[in-house]
C-alpha cells in the first residue's frame, strides 16, 4: 500500500467493515434468496464468461462473496479477495454454510502479490470497485500478474459519465479524469439501505474510460468486447426509477445516459 494513500484506504476500510452487517440484512442483497440458491449475478455479467466449469477464477474486491460464490455454483474454482476483514470473514462463514468450495483472502488489491500465489483462467471485478483505487496502472499490473496466458479479464462498472453528477441535485460536481487527490465526503447510510444511519468518511477517484483501458492494454491484454448500457442493474443511487424490472435509470433528461460499461479482454503475452 502506498504511503500517500494509506490513510484514505484505512478510512475506506472502516466504512466497508461497518457496512457488512447492514448489507447482509438488506433487501438489496437478498441474502435469504441467495442462500436458497438464487444467483447474485446480473444480466450484464451472468453470461459474459460462458461455461466456467473447472476454470480458476479470481474475484477482486468481492465484498462478502455473493458473486464469487455464484460463480462457484456454476462450477468455477473461485478465490475472492477484499480489503475488509469483516467481509472476508463473512464470506468464509457463508461458504461453510453452503458447503461450497471457495477460498477467500483478506488483502488490498495492490498488496495481493504478497498474499496470494498462482495464476487464474479468469480475473473478474464488477460494480463499484475501481473508484476506490487511485492508480489503475498498478491495478492493471496486478490483473496481468494473475492472469494465465490466454486467460480472460472481465469487468462491469458504473460509467464514469454517471459519476460526474451529484445524484440529488443533478449538477455536474465531479471530474471525468483522475485527480491525484481523491474526492472525500462524509456519508450517512449506504447504497443498500439509504436510511441505515451508518456514518463514515469515504475517499474515491473517478477514472475515464481511457484511463481504465490503456493500462490493461499496456500490460498485455487485448480487447475482445466493450459494451455500454443505458441502465443500471441495481437501484443503488438516489432518485433512480425502474424503467423495467431489473433495469434502473437516473435522471429525467429525456436522453439516454450511459450507466454501465463492460470490458472483456484476453491476455496475449506470457
Q: For residue range 34-84, list pLDDT tens digits in order.
A: 999 999 999 999 999 999 999 999 999 999 999 999 999 999 999 999 999
DSSP 3-state percent helix, strand, coil across the chain (nearest 5): 30, 30, 40
* Res 270: pLDDT: 63
- CATH architecture designation of domain 3-32+52-267: 3-Layer(aba) Sandwich (3.40)
- 181: which 3 cell numbers? 487527490
Q: What angle do CA 25, 71, 104 make, to 5 degrees?
A: 70
Q: How far is CA 251 from the centre of its chain?
A: 23
Coil vs helix vs strand at 149: strand
* Res 2: pLDDT: 63
Backbone angles phi, psi at 114, to 5 degrees: -90, -5
| Mean pLDDT in residue range 8-18 | 95
**Measuring CA to CA, how many Å separate 221 from each of 28, 44, 130?**
34, 21, 18
Coil vs helix vs strand at 143: helix
pTM for the model stands at: 0.96
Q: How far apart are CA 156 and CA 38, in angstroms?
A: 20
Query: Could you tell me which of 92, 80, 90 has the C-alpha nearest to residue 19?
Result: 90
pLDDT in tens, 74-117: 999 999 999 999 999 999 999 999 999 999 999 999 999 999 99
Amino acid at each position: 500500500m502506498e504511503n500517500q494513500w494509506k490513510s484514505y484506504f484505512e478510512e475506506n476500510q472502516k466504512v466497508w467493515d461497518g457496512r457488512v452487517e447492514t448489507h447482509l440484512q438488506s433487501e438489496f442483497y437478498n441474502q435469504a434468496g441467495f442462500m436458497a440458491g438464487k444467483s447474485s449475478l446480473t444480466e450484464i455479467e451472468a453470461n459474459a464468461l460462458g461455461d466456467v466449469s473447472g476454470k480458476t477464477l479470481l474475484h477482486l474486491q468481492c465484498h462478502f462473496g455473493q458473486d464469487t460464490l455464484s460463480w462457484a455454483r456454476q462450477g468455477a474454482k473461485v478465490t475472492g479477495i477484499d480489503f475488509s476483514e469483516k467481509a472476508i470473514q463473512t464470506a468464509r462463514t457463508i461458504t461453510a454454510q453452503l458447503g461450497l468450495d471457495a477460498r477467500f483472502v483478506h488483502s488490498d488489491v495492490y498488496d495481493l502479490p504478497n498474499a496470494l500465489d498462482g495464476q487464474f483462467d479468469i480475473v473478474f471485478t464488477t460494480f463499484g470497485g475501481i473508484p476506490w483505487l487511485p492508480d489503475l496502472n498498478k491495478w492493471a499490473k496486478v490483473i496481468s500478474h494473475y492472469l494465465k496466458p490466454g486467460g480472460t479479464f472481465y469487468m462491469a462498472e458504473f460509467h464514469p459519465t454517471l459519476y460526474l453528477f451529484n445524484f440529488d441535485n443533478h449538477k455536474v460536481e465531479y471530474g471525468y479524469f483522475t485527480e491525484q487527490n481523491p474526492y472525500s465526503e462524509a456519508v450517512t447510510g449506504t447504497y443498500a439501505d439509504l436510511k441505515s444511519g451508518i456514518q463514515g468518511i469515504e475517499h474515491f477517484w473517478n477514472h475515464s474510460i481511457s484511463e481504465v483501458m490503456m493500462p490493461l492494454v499496456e500490460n498485455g491484454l487485448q480487447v475482445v468486447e466493450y459494451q455500454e448500457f443505458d441502465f443500471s442493474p441495481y437501484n443503488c443511487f438516489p432518485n433512480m426509477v425502474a424503467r423495467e424490472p431489473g433495469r434502473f435509470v437516473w435522471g429525467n433528461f429525456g436522453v439516454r445516459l450511459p450507466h454501465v460499461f463492460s470490458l472483456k479482454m484476453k491476455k496475449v503475452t506470457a
